[in-house]
Structure 1
Amino acid sequence: MSTVFMTHALRPFPGLITKDGRAPSGERLTQMLDILEQIWAAGFDEGPIDPAADVEDFWEDAVRIATTYRAALDAGLAIELRSSAKCWSSEDLACRMGPLRINEHGGYHGADAFEELLAGLPLDMTGRTFAVCTYDSESVTLGADDLSQHLTTLAAAGHTAAVVKVAGHKQGIARIELDPDTRVINRRLHDAFDWTMVRLDGVRSAFLVSPWIEITYEYRVFVVDGIPVTGAGCIEEYTPLDHSGSGPFDPAVRLHRGNSVAATVNSDITDDSRTVRTHLAAATPVIAHMAARGLRTYVVDMAYVPARHDSVVVEFNSISNAGLYACDAQALARALIQTEHKGYYEYTPTRVR
């Protein structure tokens, strides 16, 4: 019998409560109890109740375990719990399910070239340029990829603001108001990122930069072996417990995310299947483009741009660590169980000081 390796970990258990702190009832209570039974069967224990625990964090972890367990049983596979302290071979990763631990090193996982690939996508897929940049406060000669210089170039081209994101890890994203003076730019970067600017000073290709444009209805598409298998709006407070609709692509979307980049406050949540279909249509050539470059399992975030009347790519992420939102997690687990393309790509680290 084939084996699936599981390396999940559960974050602290908030107890049987909903996001608003109330006791669950009806279908929600039934869902929660069913998930707990599945994680117990898989060999996990939710642990003691922590009143300060994050409700969404715990149930996202629990859903990953429960859906993997069910998918493995349905496929007739054995389950083996594995420590994250080992170096994984390509053969191991073909049997692995679950998020990566931040303390894992070596092996054939944990890094990808998504920033570089995003910067190389055709403009009709992105709606604006992307550039991978370096900030080096001690450099005398500014290179073409210098972060401050690139931002002043965007200002000279008529852009009023840019989005700057820490590349490789989800450690920061900010809207930076542009200015022709690099000293003003640098001050704004330090105000936005604080000690991250010091920590990444001189680190090659540490920042991803694009001109700011209005994006709406952000939506995450989960791609497994080159096929979109499920999707959900980028709604932070949603987990797979909130999945609705008759198909794998959840219809709930939010006009603006209150992340101080798209907007300062969250918009209301609405069901909009028409916008979801627009996202999926725009994602189709992007998925084909990525597959031609050997990347077949990942998540791609799409957004609708009112000025273009179309959807564009916002970012790519590793499928193993991407937030699930209200996706159909069972459909995702089934797809991952059945494929060897789980998104752990061979790589050679390129970011050096």
Structure 2
Amino acid sequence: MLAELSMRGDRPCGTEHPDATVAAERLRLHQLYATYVEEPSGALNGDVEEFLEEACRLDAAIQVFGENNVILKRTDGRKLWAKREEQAPLSAELEDCVILGGQMDTALRTDPRLATERLADKYMFSKTFTQNSGRKTYLTTFDDYHDDEPKAARSAFKALYGSGVRRMVAKAVVAKQGFRVVDLTHTRDEAEGWQTFVSETFEGFTHSHGDESILLQEWVEMEYEYRIFVVGHELVTGAGSVVEHTPLDNNGLAFNTTLRRHRIDYDPCADPALEEQPEVVTRYREFGERMANAFRAERPNMPHYVLDVATVNGETVIVELNGLRNSGLFATDHVAVVKALRRFEEEQPYRPQPAVKADSKQCTVCGGSNTDVSFPLATAARPGAPVILLKGTGPNAFMNCLDCESVAKVIDPLHD
């Protein structure tokens, strides 16, 4: 079996570390990366953790598959055998090849082997998420104008504000770096709150993300954020969302117990204390098992993903889901993840599916056929559940998948 590992290259590398064991491991990864990819740049203005994560991915691929079976996919599109530095055959793209490493947006949108990544990114349509997120959540958009006002966003905002929520989070669904926290505690009424909300979010989102859907949520204080890697619907490894940690910081446990109470507290110049919290991690694992079973029942076509959890008011909640390949590793056991992916692919190997006709009603997210097509509409906001607020005019219609609850913009067959 082969592995195809995407490598971005030109990474800064830092081998210095106060712990001699960690410093030696950093040096080993530096040499490994130089041997198979390129000499790390040594730049001081880059993210050393990103280099270490990419080097750990390379190390895991070679350990699990062997250097003769690893194909390195470069940013320029070339695919080379890691050992021989020769062009890899295109036939290796489809069968008996496990996809590893961070993926470019084009591949995430189009590669049929990455369908589970796309489905994980649509977590906001999942009942399992909304029922276990611990906060009110609405899916909306700014690109729905009526009388110069984005009606869909106003409807979702009104539902949240009317329920007493005065701190909100607006998050771009696809471009996840689009993120705003809006404090409305000093606004006198809903009208003033809406004006404040628009002034702090609307221009930035529409300028950066166009007509992308927006996830509007109640802000809640999250403690001890934690990331769990799920492969084949089974929990494999996990670690606290400690931004400076990489697999080199793993303490030998599949589920690392070193956590930080508030993720945003980290400052390299004033490091807040890390805590050993084995009881919290045990609670997260039990919760993660229940959620993995629930997602398996709800989305059987989504076997791999990353589950982010946290504690809110003493209860465990889902923060979000992410695709497995592009997610940060933190102090997880990444070799265990790659081993699990190989076992899964050996038991259920990928086989390319026949091309889907343009007029097919197949869901573009999960591949299911339990879909219907409707003309643009907007549903009323429902407190505590996501709202699918559709937009568009003219010949545009929308496909609603009843299996994964995703919505895709399609062309009305009557106007095709």
Task: Pick the TM interval, shorter chain.
Answer: 0.7 to 0.9
Is the 1:165–1:174 contact (alpha carbons within 8 Å) kept by the matching residues of 2?
A: yes
The answer to whether the 8 A contact 1:255-1:267 is kept is no
The count of aligned residue pairs is: 333
The residue aligned with 1:81 is 72
2:163 aligned with 1:157: yes
Cα separation, 2, equivalents of 1:89 and 1:170 = 31
Contact 2:309 2:318 in 1 (8 A): yes
1:130 has 2:137 as partner: yes
2:190 maps to amino acid: D
Letter in structure 1 aligned against 2:173 = A
How far did residue 305 of structure 1 move? 1.6
Say if 1:297 and 1:342, in contact at 8 Å, map to a contact too.
no
Partners of 1:126 and 1:313 within 8 A in 2: yes
**2:314 is the alignment partner of 1:314:** no
Q: 1:278 aligns with which of 270, 280, 283?
A: 283
Give 1:113 shift.
5.5
Partner SS state of residue 247, structure 1 = coil
Q: Distance in 1 between matches of 2:349 and 2:232?
A: 8
* 1:316 alignment partner AA: L
What is the SS of the residue equivalent to 2:338?
helix
TM-score (norm. length: structure 2): 0.70
| CA–CA separation in structure 2 for the residues paired with 1:342 and 1:17 | 41
2:3 aligned partner: 4
Give the secondary-structure state (helix, strand or coil) at the position aligned to 1:238.
Answer: coil
Percent identity over the alignment is: 22
Q: Secondary structure at the match of 1:112?
A: helix
- Structure 1 gaps of 5+ residues are 19-23
Task: Describe the shift of the 1:14–1:47 C-alpha distance in structure 2 as closer, same or farther (beyond 3 A).
Answer: closer
How many angstroms does 1:286 deviate by? 1.1
Q: 1:283 to 1:12 in 2, by over 3 A?
A: same
Letter in 1 for 2:71: E
Offset at 1:63?
1.0
In structure 2, the partner of 1:348 is: 364
Return closer, same or farther for 1:111/1:216 CA change in 2, 3 Å cut-off: same
Change (3 A) 1:247 1:77: farther
Q: 2:343 & 2:199 partners in 1: Cα distance? A: 46
Alignment-derived partner of residue 56 in structure 1: 49
Is the contact made by 1:256 and 1:267 (CA closer than 8 Å) also made in structure 2? no
Structure 2 distance, partners of 1:125, 1:255, is 20
Q: Tell me what 1:331 maps to.
A: 336
- Tell me if structure 2 keeps the 8 A contact 1:243–1:328: yes
Q: Tell me the amino acid that sits aligned with residue 5 of structure 1.
A: E
Q: Is the 8 A contact 1:63 1:240 kept in 2?
A: yes
What is the aligned counterpart of 2:59 among 42, 55, 66?
66
Per the TM alignment, residue 167 of structure 1 is displaced from its structure 2 partner at its CA by: 0.6
- For the pair 1:106 / 2:110, whether they are aligned, the reply is yes
Identify the residue that residue 190 of structure 2 maps to in structure 1. 181
Give 1:91's aligned residue. Answer: 94
Query: Do 1:256 and 1:266's aligned partners in 2 also have CA atoms closer than 8 Å?
Result: no
After superposition, the C-alpha distances for 1:93-150 in whole angstroms (9 at most, x for unaligned) are 8522211023545222363364454552266522223221111363349898x22321
RMSD: 3.4
Distance 2:34 2:28 in 1: 10
- TM-score, length-scaled by structure 1: 0.81
Change in Cα spacing, 1:92 to 1:13, as seen in structure 2 (3 Å) is farther
Unaligned stretches of 5+ residues in structure 2: 79-89, 354-362, 366-406, 411-416
Structure 2 counterpart of 1:26: 20
Deviation at 1:321, TM superposition (A): 0.4
Q: Residue by residue, what CA displacement relative to the aligned partner does 1:299-331 show, whole Å, maximum 9, x if unpaired? A: 01011122xx32010100001000111111221
Where does residue 21 of structure 1 map in the other structure? Answer: none
Stretch of structure 1 that moved more, 150-159 or 311-320 = 150-159
Q: Is the 8 A contact 2:61 2:70 kept in 1?
A: no
* Aligned match of 1:232: 239
